[in-house]
Amino acid sequence: MSQRHTPNEVRASATPEPMRPRVTRRQFLRRTAAAGGLIAVPYLIPASALGQDGNVAPSERITLGGIGIGGRGSGVLNWMMAEKDVQFLAVCDPQKSRREKVKQMVDKRYGNQDCAVYKDTPEFLATRDDIDAMLITTGDRWHATMSVMAMRAGKDVYSEKPSCMTIAEGQAVVETANRFRRIYQTGTQRLSEAKFILANELLRTGRLGKLHTVRAHIAPWDAAEMRHDWLPEQPLPSADEVNWDAWLGPCPWRPYNAAYCRGGWRGHYDFHTSCIGEWGAHTFAQCHVAIGATDTSPVEYGYVDNPTGDGMVTRFANGVKMILHRGDKWWHGSCGVRYEGTEGWVAVADGYSKPEASSPALLADFEKIVRDYTDRTGHPTSHVRDLFDSVKSRRPTVANPEVMYRSMTTVHAANICMWLKRDLKYDPAKAEFVDDAEANRLRSRAMREPWII
Amino acid sequence: MSNSELIAVLESDAPQKEKADACRQLARTGTKEAVPVLAAMLGDEKLSHMARYALEPIPDPAVDDALRDALGKLNGRPLVGAIGSIGVRRDAAAVEPLSKMLAHADADVARVTAGALGKIATADAAKAVGQALGDVPAARRPAVAEACLACAEALLAADKGSEAAAMYRAVDKADLPKHFGVAAKYGLLQAQKPAGTP
């Protein structure tokens, strides 16, 4: 993995030197010893830094950077820093309070002051060629654009969900990842959780019989129709405190209001993907993977005359229905999925210790089935571990770009169906709605300059 | 509101928010009739993006004519935006004027121009970015190189494997960050596959 630089060394180099040969820690120590006439490396280096006592030597660690890390991102970052072969080096955020909070958290964990901070993403990406992978946990509006920018800079990416604002953004993520052979993981963690894996495996192995229906939970807050109003204008802070232009990124300009930066962006059309995207990013991805629809999306979307999309029936080309549900009729937890076949059903949601099923016999081999899954696929039951294993092996993650793009296309198509208040047909191969010019216009949004990818 | 009413809002002294909202609606319903008034907004720093927001999805060649015409009149961010929209619309007729902007003094203009040519990806676009690859300063080379990769992908998709291979080799030989070499070598493998190999 990448060699380490101190923040000062990196900042002193304003121009990226991408072709500079990388020096491993061991090479560095050898050269230093030779230059100083030493015959041995210093003996006071702690064992942990040398990779002893079960630790991984710094030169072998995956180097990680972060962009836009807030509350949710801090949780993911803590999971990532718990991995022994990962070293977090630097954070970038247009908000001073957030980047400083992350630095404090990282420095406290490592017991040093080494976490570098940046406020300008292009500079961050251009100068830190020592960073292998990027954790992107901005607001939704930036996920895809930032992922593309990071992959163009040679980084592997973990992006929080919903990972694209439009169908076109999803395509751009796939295209860039394929072009540069980058590893990408969208933050649909349930694809790596044992109880959800069990449900998928019961379906895949035919124990539910012939599948006919999957049900996907959508969030119980917000509506499918989103806000277009502007919050009242407030005095703009200094660019160092909040760089509002960078915060908005590719979205249409609007006047500053601090509430946006405190999470109040949710529910606004420019920044959010509605109640359908909020949980559908998870549950649709679950369903897509469960039924093997990782290279397609439903071809039909039935409009429902309510504010949320509750009860919308979508249909895949093979006839399988995916039905959107709000509330607790089918689950007693969040982000639930339910698969129904001719021989039985299985349902699972957050808060379950194990899935519920039509027959206890279906759940009898829970641990073995999950173990067989990990043996067969190589995907562990840890979402962040799956990313880091893939960074090393270059094998696609469980929540790879195509999974993200196809499941988020389903989110966007369902939203568009609700916005236009009519049934839609979609051609997944052409990535276009059938005979509906207005729907097709909603597949992309012009990006605000200069944040054009 | 009807398209005529939306156009009237844009021609009025309405506040920025009202004009932005009119642009949002025209993005869904606008036709050729809206193009002149939207094109006239392209140089307005406050409304340029929303004008493109409306123009970009209008399926009429009048939009391409307007964006191309604006290239010689705009500067700074509005110019960056217009070029970006030309790329999204894959306007092949814009290759010639765009080719001259790869060396633009404004780094953002040059970067987005390369991206637009990569999206257009015609033979002429490929030729333009291929020539620029050896000429541009190091800091601008990655954007041009990615455009070369995009053009090579298009050539490959059009069964022009040998031409794609030439582009991949050019990127592989250029002084670029190592992930470009990875991309070029992988592309070269695809381009050199015997016909019919999956």
pLDDT for residue A55: 83
How far is residue B104's CA from residue A397's CA, in Å, rounded to a whole number? 40
Shortest Cα distance, chain A CAs vs residue B76, angstroms: 9
pLDDT for residue A38: 34
Three-state DSSP class for A449?
coil
- Find the mean pLDDT for residues A65-84: 97
Q: Model confidence at A33, in pLDDT bands (50, 70, 90)?
A: very low
How far is residue A113's CA from residue A205's CA, in Å, rounded to a whole number? 51
The answer to whether B171 contacts chain A (CB < 8 Å) is no
- Which among B55, B115, B183 has the least Cβ separation from residue A180? B183
For B152, which residue in chain A has the nearest alpha carbon?
A179
> A15 to chain B: which residues are within 8 Å by CB?
138-139
CATH of B1-89 given 3.20.20, 1.25.40, 1.25.10, 3.10.450: 1.25.10
Shortest Cα distance, chain B CAs vs residue A382, angstroms: 27
CB contact under 8 A, A181 and B186: yes
In a domain, A315, yes or no: yes
Q: Model confidence at B173, in pLDDT bands (50, 70, 90)?
A: very high
CB contact under 8 A, A449 and B84: yes
> A444 to chain B: which residues are within 8 Å by CB?
56-57, 88
How far is residue A205's CA from residue A190's CA, in Å, rounded to a whole number? 19
pLDDT exceeds 80 at position B58: yes
Q: Model confidence at A51, in pLDDT bands (50, 70, 90)?
A: low
- Output the CA torsion sign for A69, A74, A75, A81: positive
Q: What is the CA radius of gyration of chain B?
A: 19
- Find the mean pLDDT for residues A187-204: 98
- Which among A180, A442, A452 has the least Cβ separation from residue B112? A452
How far is residue B182's CA from residue B172's CA, in Å, rounded to a whole number? 8
* B109-A242-B44-B30 Cα dihedral, nearest 10 degrees: 90
**Helix, strand, coil shares, percent, chain A, to 5:** 40, 15, 45
Q: A20-29, A90-99, A288-297: lowest mean pLDDT where?
A: A20-29
Q: Model confidence at B38, in pLDDT bands (50, 70, 90)?
A: very high
pLDDT exceeds 70 at position B137: yes
Three-state DSSP class for A136?
strand
Three-state DSSP class for A178?
helix
- Find the mean pLDDT for residues B162-188: 97
The tokens describing A408, both together, are 């988020």
The answer to whether B137 contacts chain A (CB < 8 Å) is no
Tally of domains in chain A: 1
The answer to whether B139 contacts chain A (CB < 8 Å) is yes
- Find the mean pLDDT for residues B57-68: 98
Residue A313's φ and ψ, nearest 5 degrees, are: -105, 125
For residue range A197-213, what is the model confidence (pLDDT) as tens digits?
999 999 999 999 999 99
Full domain range(s) for residue A208:
190-224+272-388+400-441
pLDDT exceeds 80 at position B132: yes
In a domain, A358, yes or no: yes
pLDDT for residue B196: 65
The CATH number assigned to the domain holding A335 equals 3.30.360.10
In a domain, A158, yes or no: no
- Output the CA torsion sign for A67, A385, A87, A77: positive
- Which among A18, A441, A450 has the least Cβ separation from residue B57? A441
- Which among A154, A442, A444 has the least Cβ separation from residue B28? A442
> B29 to chain A: which residues are within 8 Å by CB?
438
Q: What ipTM goes with this model?
A: 0.97
* Parallel/antiparallel/unpaired status of strands A300-301 and A313-315: antiparallel
In a domain, A306, yes or no: yes
pLDDT for residue A53: 67
Beta bridge partners of A404: none
- Amino acid of residue A172: A
How far is residue B78's CA from residue B66's CA, in Å, rounded to a whole number? 13
Which residues touch A35 (CB under 8 Å, ≥6 apart)? Answer: none
pLDDT exceeds 60 at position A173: yes
How far is residue A146's CA from residue A141's CA, in Å, rounded to a whole number? 9
Instruction: Tell me the CA end-to-end span of chain A in Å, nearest whole number.
Output: 28
For residue range B79-97, what is the model confidence (pLDDT) as tens digits?
999 999 999 999 999 999 9
For residue range A77-114, what is the model confidence (pLDDT) as tens digits?
999 999 999 999 999 999 999 999 999 999 999 999 99
- Find the mean pLDDT for residues A381-393: 98
> B178 to chain A: which residues are within 8 Å by CB?
18-19, 154
Contact predicate A388/A397, CB 8 Å: no
The answer to whether B56 contacts chain A (CB < 8 Å) is yes
* Parallel/antiparallel/unpaired status of strands A424-427 and A300-301: antiparallel
pLDDT for residue A20: 32
How far is residue A136's CA from residue B17's CA, in Å, rounded to a whole number? 31
pTM of structure: 0.92
pLDDT for residue A366: 96
Maximum pairwise Cα distance, chain B = 63
How far is residue B132's CA from residue B146's CA, in Å, rounded to a whole number? 12
> A19 to chain B: which residues are within 8 Å by CB?
175-178
Q: Model confidence at A54, in pLDDT bands (50, 70, 90)?
A: confident
How far is residue B147's CA from residue A125's CA, in Å, rounded to a whole number? 19
CB contact under 8 A, A441 and B177: no
